[in-house]
Structure 1
Amino acid sequence: MTDPKVHEARGHADLILRGGTVLTMDDDARRAEGVAITAGRIVAVGDSAELELWCGPTTRVIELSGRAVLPGINDSHLHGSWLGARWPHTFFGAADPEAAAQVSGTLVSSTAERRAAIQRAGKLLTELGITSYTEPGLGPGEDSGETGSFHSEVIEIYRELAAAGELSQRITVLALHGILDGPSDVATVVAGIQNHAALAGESDPAWLAIPGVKIFGDLIPLSRQAWTHHSYDDGTHGDLLVEGATIAEKAEGLAQMLRAAHLAGLQVGIHATGDRTVELALEAFAAAAALPGAPSVRELGHVIIHGDLATPAQVARMAEMGIWLNTQSGIAAYAGEWLTGMLGPEVATSAWPLGAALAAGVLVLSSDAPVLDFDWRRGIAAAEARIVATGGSVAPEDMRARLEQLLRAYTSLPAAQDRAADWKGTVTAGKVADLVVLARDPFEVGAAGLPDVAVDLTVLDGHVVFER
């Protein structure tokens, strides 16, 4: 219900969506008929009678006619500048694989080109109801990088667009001081961590937040470069992306970087796909948090990015510690057979532990676009298919409960990963009015049918920014 004092203070709503199904995505999975918005904030979520109290002569009313409203989609691992420069040439599932394979070298090199790429991505994402995303790795470590899409200037362009009110999404950035997909120098990364405040600068955190750093632990199993206890088909066990003469030296260097970031109070997104790399990260965070005066792991909300070979025990420990597993369900669909050839069927079946992570409450879904496309509806369908294929229940009531969790993995849980759950991520009075309207209620079609449900409307900060 609406607080009468709030109603009296705010007056009439700027925008009302009514006559549909509002999926709040809160902990109680509440539903409502509509939502009222004033000055970019949600002021009421309720039934038609309650919403009528907010109608005034200047209120825009959108009749939902049974359509569904969700919180705006938050793609919590998406390379916006790279996506805008490459689209439609994804790495997996490209419409024209031959053309995608030919895209290489420098994609953007000037301020104008980088700005245009960001703005192009913003328009594409708006049309799918994506109102927030995380750029996981921009900064000086890639100022000489091949594509030009991860240059530290991209951060400054985001900052300028945020200040001018020209961003199409709310942006979270993880700063990159090491090399993208290459061996990082420990001293360079630690120095960057110590200088994080200067790189992060000042901006409105509701539009641009830079809460931490991206650190590369290893690469991927498909290149036999995920560090794992398992043996690849060539007898190797992978490696770490840290400069060093031995694997032990590299492991200590990676742990040093992780400890330094934690003690600096920074959130860490660690690219870790092998089970040994995940294990090292969990131990390093625990050791740092145990030091006198250090913040807890849960306070900082570190993120294991990808976590392809994470074990059920490691997932359970993530839940205990307050660490997120941010992964991309579509990769399992494309790479499962390939992984079977490299590590065997038993390892391939246990890889991408989506079911365990969902049950533990740590699963955050994302696209990694342009590695995959950015269609979150397909991401949810792929997650459901993977969970069922690896033993998940197909009882209707279980599939329905799972769909609620998977939708939250693209809305409320990414907001928690962003450390912004108090002001975004659910359809709740007082939070920002970032919403997506779907042509049908997802629960009418199930996860498998979700890719065929159209995005009809996107609302960002209380403004309709896309209408089909």
Structure 2
Amino acid sequence: MTPPKTADLVLTGGTVLTFDGEDREATALAVADGTVVAVGDVDHVTGPDTRVVDLRGRAVLPGINDSHLHGAWLGAIWPTTILGGGMGGGMGGDTHDGGTHGDTDGPGAPLLADAEARRAAILRTGRIIAPLGITSYTEPGLGPGEDAGRTGCFSSAVLDEYAALADEGLLTARVTVLRLFGELDGPSTLADFERGLGAPLPSTDPRRVNVTGVKIFADGIPPMRSAWTHRCYADGTSGHLLVDGAQDAEREANLHRMIDLAHRAGAQIGVHATGDRSIEAVVTAMADAIAAHGPAGRHYLIHGDLVSPEVLARLPGLGIGLNTQPGIAAATGPWLAAALGDEALRDAWPLRRAFEHGVPVCLSSDAPVIEPDWRRWIAAAAEWMGADPSPALMRRLLRAYTVNPARQDGAEAWKGSIEVGKVADLCVLEANPLDLAPADLPHVAVSMTVLDGRTVFEA
């Protein structure tokens, strides 16, 4: 029998929230060679060279996974956020057909004009998120559709820079990438999409940078009257799909074809869809692809502002997830009501119902639309749901930032929970979140962040 490895790092004297299948808790864990080697009893793996950290009552969680965060863009404009003001702040920017991504670059040069700027932005994002306990994030849209984009933040060159940094061992978070074959928040064509699916990808360690699939913009957002809805805006319009086509039927057919092509190629599909009508079209297309070709990928809706109860109930059976941003809901809810009425706002972002149906829900920031502080957005989610504070609620919301995003990444076998054999991606908090109301979580400091067994932040 092979003796256990001596640990490089032991955390002891606190609460370890494993978020494993049984939601077990422990008082200690041990790490060797970047992997969790013991949870609970760690004496047998503690040696003279082991670094032992006394938690002094602090809590250890799996590393936080912000499953919708524009890393290069965040690093380029921070501390500006689109909804928080500053350069390009607010919703007044006109980016293509009116999405959540404001005009942050103005008429001047691109934010990221060369490899040096791209590299600096990505590394800066690593420094921004490490003190937040974030060890994984998804770049939701990099590719040829934005190679001529005004910001330079979403191009194929950004993906190449991620791969280079991963190969050099310089990334301080794991990155999942969706490729983009149309414009960010703008139109896409079936021909460009089909051509893009066949484009080569940079070769890199998929546990560092993993291109899992594609991003499609189905529509815009309700405040800009560009979400495709069954309701009418004040001007009598109801939005439309951003996919190319002369009429609604042709646009919907082209969207259906895109989803079928990507599904058959084995790609994960993440679709920006906010209007109830666009969401129906997306889910129908995904369901048809699954029925025709079998399950593939971990497809999901991005934002899903006006998802209907009927569509929401279909998602678990199809294995379709929902990636939503409670911070954006809180910030833009009044604008949605102004665009579509108070009844639409009451039906919007039905987070409580999604959890009750068993939908795989991921909470995320969409930074730099808003800041990437997940503690604030867990508090916002609880407030939006109108739920009574409880440990069960906190567990559910924390899982939407750890376990569920690992599933979305197709990586739940090796990350997202604290279990022997999984990677040692950890977030240490000054207090146990299960003892707190969600509203109190933003006041709890992150004291340590560990990626692959390596400390990337320590207060």
Q: Shorter-chain TM-score: what band?
A: over 0.9
Q: 1:168 corresponds to which residue?
A: 172
TM-score (norm 2): 0.94
The reply on whether 1:88 has 2:79 as its aligned counterpart is yes
Q: Answer yes or no: is 1:301 the counterpart of 2:298.
A: yes
Q: Residue 380 of structure 1 corresponds to which residue in structure 2?
A: 378
Question: 1:103: how far off?
Answer: 4.2
Matched, 1:118 2:112: no
Matched, 1:242 2:206: no
The structure-2 alpha-carbon separation of the partners of 1:400 and 1:426, relative to structure 1 and needing over 3 Å to count, comes to same
Answer yes or no: is the 8 Å Cα contact 1:169–1:207 preserved in 2: yes
Given residue 60 of structure 1, which amino acid in structure 2 is its aligned partner? R
What is the deviation of 1:97?
7.5
Q: Which amino acid aligns with 1:228?
A: T
1:310 alignment partner AA = V
Question: Could you tell me whether the CA contact under 8 Å between 1:265 and 1:295 is conserved in 2?
Answer: no
Measure, in 1, the Cα distance between the counterparts of 2:334 and 2:156. Answer: 37
Q: What is the rounded CA distance, in whole Å, between the counterparts of 1:29 and 1:231 in structure 2?
A: 45
Match of 2:9 among 15, 18, 25: 15
Which of 292, 312, 320 aligns to 1:315? It is 312
Q: Is the 8 A contact 1:10 1:38 kept in 2?
A: no
| Structure 1 residues 462 and 381: alpha-carbon distance in aligned structure 2, compared to 1, 3 A threshold | same
Q: What SS is found at the alignment partner of 2:437?
A: helix
Per-residue deviation at 1:343?
Answer: 1.0
Deviation, 1:239, is 0.9
Report the AA paired with residue 239 of structure 2. G
Residue identity in the other structure for 2:25: R
Equivalent residue letter for 2:173: Q
Q: Which residue of 1 aligns with 2:100?
A: none
Q: What's the RMSD between the two structures over aligned residues? A: 1.5
- Count of aligned residue pairs for this structure pair: 444
1:403 is aligned to 394
Shift of 1:444: 1.9
TM-score (ref. length: structure 1) = 0.92
Q: Which residue of 2 aligns with 1:138?
A: 142
Name the residue aligned to 2:428: 437
User: Structure 1 regions of 5+ residues with no counterpart?
Assistant: none
1:314-365 deviation per Cα after TM superposition (whole angstroms, max 9, x unaligned): 1121111001100100011111111111111111011011111222242100
Show CA shifts across 1:430-463 (max 9, x none). Answer: 0000000000001222211000000000001001
Alignment gaps of 5+ in structure 2: 94-102
Secondary structure of residue in 2 paired with 1:112: helix
The structure with the greater share of residues assigned to helix is: 1
In 1, the alpha carbon distance for the partners of 2:345 and 2:359 equals 23
Alignment partner, residue 36 of structure 1: 30
Amino acid across the alignment from 2:133 = G
Say if 1:339 and 1:348, in contact at 8 Å, map to a contact too.
yes
Counterpart for residue 341 of structure 1: 338
Letter in 1 for 2:39: V
Q: CA deviation at 1:81?
A: 0.2
Which residue in 2 is equivalent to 1:258? 259
1:62 aligned to 2:53?
yes
Identify the residue that residue 230 of structure 2 maps to in structure 1.
229
Opposite residue 80 of structure 1, the aligned amino acid is G
2:64·2:402 contact (CA, 8 Å) conserved in 1?
yes
Q: Distance in 2 between matches of 1:34 and 1:358?
A: 30
The match for 1:24 is 18
Aligned position for 1:457:
448
What residue identity is the alignment partner of 2:300? V
Shift of 1:93: 2.8
Hey, which bits of structure 1, 4+ residues long, moved more than 4 A? 96-103
- SS state of the match for residue 53, structure 1? helix
SS for the counterpart of 2:42 is helix
Write out aligned runs for 1:145-160 (5 A): 145-160=149-164
Q: Which amino acid aligns with 1:112?
A: E
2:349, 2:235 → 1: CA distance?
Answer: 22
| Secondary structure in structure 2 of the residue aligned to 1:172 | strand
Q: Tell me by how many angstroms 1:73 deviates.
A: 0.4
State percent identity of aligned pairs: 51
Matches of 2:312 and 2:135, distance apart in 1: 28
Q: Residues of 2 paired with 1:358 and 1:452: CA distance?
A: 25
Aligned mates of 1:286, 1:97 — CA distance in 2: 41
- What aligned pairs does 1:150-229 form with structure 2 within 5 A after superposition? 150-193=154-197, 195-196=198-199, 198=200, 200-229=201-230
Give, in whole Å, the separation in 1 of the partners of 2:237 and 2:141.
Answer: 28
Q: How far is the alpha carbon of 1:290 from its aligned partner?
A: 2.1
**Could you tell me which amino acid in structure 2 is paired with residue 230 of structure 1?**
R
1:132-189 CA-to-partner distances (Å, cap 9, x unmatched) read: 0000000111000010101101111111111111111001000111111111111111
1:52 aligns with 2:46: no
Q: Structure 1 residues 452 and 215 mapped into 2: Cα distance closer, same or farther (>3 Å)?
A: same
Give the secondary-structure state (helix, strand or coil) at the position aligned to 1:26. Answer: coil
